[in-house]
Amino acid sequence: MLKLISGLMMFICGLIVLCSKRKHLLLMLLSLEFVVLSLYFMIMFLMSNYSYEFFFGMIFLTMSVCEGALGLSILVSMVRSHGNDYFQSFNVLW
């Protein structure tokens, strides 16, 4: 029960940081990865608690790695074109 509560606290803290640091893309990506890590922690805990197979955990981990790589490629593209990772420095509608 303590592991589930700590996983939920990790998830809530990640969402709070995601909402409060919305000006920088890098901080948003880091907090999003923290949320994904907390979800992975809770999924692995629940699967081990009910003695399920861990195949879904591998699929979830693969998708989260792909999401992280896509976010980093967007960050690199944004820094190369605009010079920083502020959302205020460029207009999304252009």
Using alpha carbons only, what angle is made at residue 36 by residues 32 and 37, rounded to the nearest 5 degrees? 115
Long-range contacts (CB closer than 8 Å, 24 or more residues apart) made by 76-84: 78/25
Per-residue pLDDT of the chain (94 residues; tens, 9 = 90+): 888 899 899 999 999 999 998 888 888 889 999 999 999 999 998 888 888 888 888 999 999 999 999 989 988 888 888 888 777 776 665 5
Contacts of 90 (CB under 8 A, 6+ apart): 78, 81, 82
Q: What gap in Å lies between CA 12 and CA 27, rounded to an integer?
A: 16
Give the DSSP letter string of 22-79.
Answer: TTBHHHHHHHHHHHHHHHHHHHHHHHHHTT--SHHHHHHHHHHHHHHHHHHHHHHHHH
Which pTM was predicted?
0.82
Q: What gap in Å lies between CA 65 and CA 33, rounded to an integer?
A: 9
pLDDT of residue 79: 84
* Domains of the chain and CATH, by start: 2-82 (1.10.287.3510)
pLDDT of residue 4: 85
pLDDT of residue 78: 83
